[in-house]
Structure formats: structure tokens, C-alpha cells
Amino acid sequence: MSETTPLRLEVRHVSKRYPGVVANDDVSLLVAPGEIHAVLGENGAGKSTLMKIIYGAVKPDTGEVLFNGKPTHIRNPQEARALGISMVFQHFSLFETVTVAENIWLGLDKSFTLDAVRQRAAQKAKEYGLDVEVDRPVHSLSVGERQRVEIVRALLTDPKVLILDEPTSVLTPQAVRVLFVTLRKLAATGCSILYISHKLDEIRELCTNCTVLRGGKVTGHVDPRNESNASLSRMMIGAEPPKLQHREVNTGAVGMTVHGLSIQAEDPFGVTLDNIAFEVRAGEIVGIAGVSGNGQQELLAALSGESIRAPSGSIKLFGNDISKRNPRTRRAGGLHFVPEERLGRGAVPTLALAANTLLSRASDLVGKGPIGWVSPRLTANLASEIIKDFNVKAGGPDAAAKSLSGGNLQKFIVGREIGAKPKVLIVAQPTWGVDVGAAAQIRSALLKLRDEGCALLVVSEELDELFEICDRMHVIAKGRLSPSVKTSEATVEKIGEWMSGLWEVEHAV
């Protein structure tokens, strides 16, 4: 970049305060044309607020934003998109009842016809290695598939600044490689990319500059290629994440048995489960890897009781058939569940954290007798305990669930279920979008629960996570489940191949 070329984006001394919290405190940021710039920080550090200010979704209290060297007052996201700024949020903004193509069309210039948008979206998805079916209704998509839609929608605007929030959290290692190649090509055209991720290896590989935030303040501007994971962690959380204590244990009784689980898809875009079979014993963590949209949603719905379409006898909890039992009955038997969708399923966004404890802990909080009264004192006390034990950054038990950052809400939900002392715990995407410190805390809590004799099933698209905490692993692909493999005998390459369903040849007789 020549000395006369203006910066693509400049944030000068921006501050933003909310009641009881300073989200951004005198934050400055410089991004050149064609630069891939990481914004790193723990959950609640102020990253999302800063990005929303740049995108026009939040107005700063003080400071200014310059675009192409000129002071800019971006009043809303529509004005940001008109300038050439696009953003993919961690929590998505899609209309559930219409198709992928229609969602993309709603955010684009209306000079394009819907058919033209369908074709462009399909072409862009193929170009970037993102598996997107443009005619599917959004309500039928998994979290990972929805993120792909958001990325494609942003790319179709031909952005000058592209903000990506945890873009690889739902991609296979192979797909991450493809995305990185594409992002480098995009940057070579002059597009500036603001890249938010908690995966330090990715930041060091992809990004040429990095701004680190802690507690709303900038703690460093560095070239991540010259840093280590440890040094980035120290800038981000003030310390290196604790090492996990993973030791061999003797497994106990079979907690959950699944055998002959076949469920026909309810809609044309769903995934049919085909003869799923596995077991999870007390004192072990079994992982299920796979690319989003390969039957994880359908499997989790059947195991948790959200769907009772499973054949009789196909799902057993300590030998008892629960295939047709509702979630409350399953919880009474010791089965607890952490869904992948934090807001909407894991927690009610507008309700206080105290009230959200009732979603799965009502039996501990509601009085006995003919009329069960909810105790505000007990719910508040339980929420406060979870906040304290899991180091959740929140304004107390009365804080609304939607006021928490994604990582802090995840810690609260995981803490709520672990605190119930489950005999079997199913966790979907336990550390999706969670910073390295919080991820280490959640994984440590899951290992501790395992060592106490709980049977755990972890469904995750984070291969590093599964290798770190699981004793055995399966892979799900196109509604079918691979054989079990000990984590100590598995490799990333093997699991990556199995994600395409290529385990039959290896196990053929």
C-alpha cells in the first residue's frame, strides 16, 4: 500500500457504555485495503459491540469511524451495506418460514430477480466450497447450514469490508482449507476482512494483523504470524488456558443404548436416520463428529425426546425403553441435554437467567403438593450459583439471557445441566463460539463429570475438541453412523475421510 492510499477502515477512540458495563473503552483500529485483520478477545471483551458499531447496528457514545479516509456516520446496516460493509453475525438473522434464496434476496439490491439470486447464490456457494441448498426453507436447516447461508449472502454483496464472526466453527478441516484459499483471493482483490475467531491457530495462519481486546480495552496490536498461541492467550485472557487433566477411567454400566434407530425424514430437505446404533457407558465420553446437516439434528431430537418418532425399543436409558418418552420423563430418569441453539432452545432470550433455570431444573425449584409454586428465591440462588461456579459474565440472576455474549450464555446453560448431576448428559456443540479460556473451563467440567461416573455423548463439529476430551468417537454422514474408534487410534485425516461416509471399505470383511 502506498503512502497516498487511504486506509480502508479506521476506528478512532470509540467508546460504548451500557448500564453496568463498558463494552468498548477508547478503542482504535486500523485496517488497510486487502488486509485480513483478526479481532481477538474473550467472550464479553467487546468484539461484537465494536463490529456492530462498524456495521451501523450500534451507535457509539464517543469516537468516529472513517471509511476510505473519510469520516462516516453509519446510521444502520442498510447504509453500511450501501458503502460496501457486510457482516456475518454469530447469531443469525434469517427468516425461518422462507427459503434460503428468498432470505438472500431480501438483503440484496431488488434489481435482481429471485431466479437470478438463486443462480448467483448457488454459484457463489460452489465457488467457496459451502454446501448450500438454495430452495430449502430455513427452518429445516441446522445451525451450521444457517451459518453457510449467512456467509453466501454477505459474499453476494461484493463487499469492500467483510466482517466474519466465527466463520469456521461449522466447517470440516478440508472445508476450512478451501475457505482460507477463497478469503486470500478475496483479499487480493482489495477487500478488507475483519476476522473474529477463538481458534488461535487459524488466526496465526490466515491473518496479517491482530487487535486484541480485554474488558473492552485494546491490549495489543500484533502480527499474529510472529506470536505463539500462549502469547496471544496471555494478551486475551491474562493467562494461558489450564491444561486439561484427561486420565483413563474404568467404565461402568451402560447408560444409553441406541439400536436399530431408523427415522424417515419428515420433509424433503430433512435427513433420514438409517439404522443408528451405539452405546455410552458410565465414566466415558463418546463423541460424534460430522459436517452439519448430516443427521445431527434428527438424532439429537430423538435422543432428547423432542421427537418421539423413534421405533419402540430403539433408545434405552439404563435398560428402560424411552423411545416414546417426553423430555421431562427422560430428565426424571437422569438424562439431561444441552442443545446447539443457545437462544430459543437452550434459553428463552427475553427471560431472566433465574427464570431460565426452570427450563430443565423445575423439579428442584417448584414446591410439592397439589399446587406447585415457583420460588423466586430458589431460582435466583440457583442462577447465582451457576454464574459464580462457571465464571459467567452477567449482570446477576435478573439479567436477560439475550444480554449475555454467546460464550457466557453457553457457560450458563452447560452449568445449569451439569449442576443437575445427570447420569447421562448429551451436549451439542459445547464450545461453539467460546473463547479459549471458557472452552477449557467447559471441557474441564465435562471431564470432571465423566470422572464422577456420568455417561456423556458429545456431538461437535470441532474435531480438536473431540480429540481432546473423548474416549471413543463415531462419525455421522448422510444419516448413518460409523463404527466406534478409540480416540487414541484415530487421526484427523481418518475422521475427515469418514465424514464423507468412507468407512465401509476400511471395515469390509
Domain of residue 176, CATH code: 3.40.50.300
* Closest residue by Cα to residue 94 from 147, 163, 168, 161: 147
**Position 406 in a domain:** no
B/e letters for 44-64, b = 16+ CB within 10 Å, e = fewer, are bbbbbbbbbbbbbbbebeebe
Give the chain's domain count: 2
pLDDT value, residue 385 = 96
Cα–Cα distances in angstroms (integers) from residue 348 to residues 138, 162, 285, 352, 424, in the given order: 20, 30, 28, 8, 24
Q: Which residue has the cell 470509540?
A: 14
* Closest residue by Cα to residue 29 from 1, 62, 59, 66: 66
The better pLDDT of the pair 147, 31 is held by 31
Asked whether the predicted pLDDT for residue 420 surpasses 60, the reply is yes
**Position 365 in a domain:** no
pLDDT value, residue 509 = 36
**Position 378 in a domain:** no
Compute how many other C-beta atoms are within 10 angstroms of the C-beta atom of residue 181: 12
Compute how many other C-beta atoms are within 10 angstroms of the C-beta atom of residue 91: 16
Residue 213 CA to its chain's centroid (Å): 20
Asked whether the predicted pLDDT for residue 331 surpasses 70, the reply is yes
- Does residue 195 share a domain with residue 49? yes
- Does residue 123 share a domain with residue 31? yes
pLDDT tier at 434, thresholds 50, 70, 90 = confident
**Position 416 in a domain:** no
- Does residue 287 share a domain with residue 145? no
- Does residue 276 share a domain with residue 146? no
pLDDT value, residue 352 = 96
Rounded average pLDDT over 254-283: 94
Query: Mean of the per-residue pLDDT values for the chain?
Result: 89
Q: Which of 17-26, 78-87, 186-195, 431-440 has the lowest mean pLDDT?
A: 431-440
Asked whether the predicted pLDDT for residue 294 surpasses 50, the reply is yes
Asked whether the predicted pLDDT for residue 282 surpasses 50, the reply is yes
- Does residue 318 share a domain with residue 199? no
**Position 85 in a domain:** yes
- Does residue 223 share a domain with residue 113? yes
Instruction: Give tens-digit pLDDT for 466-482.
Output: 999 999 999 999 999 99
- Does residue 283 share a domain with residue 228? no
SS (H, E, C) 238-282: CCCCCCCCCCCCCCCCEEEEEEEEEECCCCCCCCCEEEEEEEEEC
- Range(s) of the domain holding residue 193: 9-237
Compute how many other C-beta atoms are within 10 angstroms of the C-beta atom of residue 202: 18
B/e letters for 389-401, b = 16+ CB within 10 Å, e = fewer, are ebebbbbebebbb
**Position 387 in a domain:** no
Rounded average pLDDT over 108-113: 78
- Does residue 190 share a domain with residue 82? yes
pLDDT value, residue 371 = 60
**Position 368 in a domain:** no
- Does residue 438 share a domain with residue 305? yes
| Domain C-terminal end among 237, 271, 291 | 237
Rounded average pLDDT over 188-210: 92
The pairing of strands 424-428 and 455-459 is parallel
Contact 303, 457 (CB under 8 A): yes
Contact 424, 335 (CB under 8 A): yes
The better pLDDT of the pair 130, 96 is held by 96
pLDDT tier at 246, thresholds 50, 70, 90 = low
- Does residue 223 share a domain with residue 270? no
pLDDT tier at 382, thresholds 50, 70, 90 = very high
Amino acid identity for residue 250 in this structure: N
pLDDT value, residue 209 = 96
pLDDT tier at 33, thresholds 50, 70, 90 = very high
**Position 117 in a domain:** yes
Asked whether the predicted pLDDT for residue 64 surpasses 80, the reply is yes
Strand extents, DSSP E, 117-272: 161-165, 192-196, 209-214, 217-222, 254-263
C-alpha distance across the termini of the chain, in Å: 60
The Cα 330–Cα 337 span in angstroms is: 10
- Does residue 82 share a domain with residue 189? yes
| Domain C-terminal end among 176, 211, 237 | 237
Dump the DSSP string for 339-372.
-S-TBTTTB-TTSBHHHHTHHHHHHHHB--SSS-
Rounded average pLDDT over 126-140: 85
The Cα 356–Cα 379 span in angstroms is: 9
- Does residue 291 share a domain with residue 201? no
